[in-house]
Amino acid sequence: MVKTYGYIRVSTREQNEARQLTALREVEIPARNIFLDKQSGKDFNRPNYQKLLRKLKKDDLLYVKSIDRLGRNYEEIQAQWRLLTKEKGVDIVVLDMPLLDTRRGKDLMGTFLSDIVLQVLSFVAENERVNIRQRQAEGIAAAKAKGVRFGRPPQPLPENFPSVYQRWKDGAITGVAAAAECGLPLSTFRYRAGLFEASNVL
């Protein structure tokens, strides 16, 4: 018996999958057959995609909203498409691109057209992934140039740090004792001591 499945992917936990879910419900896919990953599309090592892959059998039908929801890596999209359609014998429908419906045109010309469209769209998805990374890198570089700091701001030094640091520096106490007096792990005390020393030198 042929089963129908749907696959949804969003890149981060903050993104909303509602648009994809609505599209899959419109083609009446049972909720239990819809698989969702909240993960990057750079590769196919996604838990629910892998679970879906194990469930798919010959002649089953898989729906995705758009090709970039399947993935964003050009070569891996091609490889997965071949795995699904040729090795597993699954049909795929990309809702945003009616030409990518393997149920239609199973003759040579239909397969040829489908392959061309897949290659173009896979390239576009990969190119967009590269562009996103480039824009992120440029944005971070521009922010750093303006003095924006990333990550958590450093905790203020304990009030007794300067005096404890000096005693440690003079060899009056060990690093372990100094760290304990400041209420810091030894590695943190040494790290902050280095920064403290550098700032005083400057």
- Could you read off the pLDDT of 48-63 as tens digits, one per residue? 999 999 999 999 999 9
The whole-number pLDDT of residue 202 equals 39
> 3-state SS string over the chain?
CCCEEEEEEECCCCCCCHHHHHHHHHCCCCHHHEEEEECCCCCCCCHHHHHHHHHCCCCCEEEECCHHHHCCCHHHHHHHHHHHHHHCCCEEEECCCCCCECCCCCCHHHHHHHHHHHHHHHHHHHHHHHHHHHHHHHHHHHHHHCCCCCCCCCCCCCCCHHHHHHHHHCCCCCHHHHHHHHCCCHHHHHHHHHHHHHHHHC
Q: Which residues are catalytic?
A: 11
The pTM of this model reads 0.58
Q: pLDDT over 90 for what percent of the chain?
A: 35
Check whether 15 has a pLDDT greater than 80: no
Kindly indicate the confidence band of residue 2, based on its pLDDT and cuts at 50, 70 and 90.
confident
Each residue's pLDDT tens digit, 125-183: 666 666 666 777 767 777 777 776 666 666 788 889 999 999 999 999 999 999 999 99
Check whether 80 has a pLDDT greater than 90: no
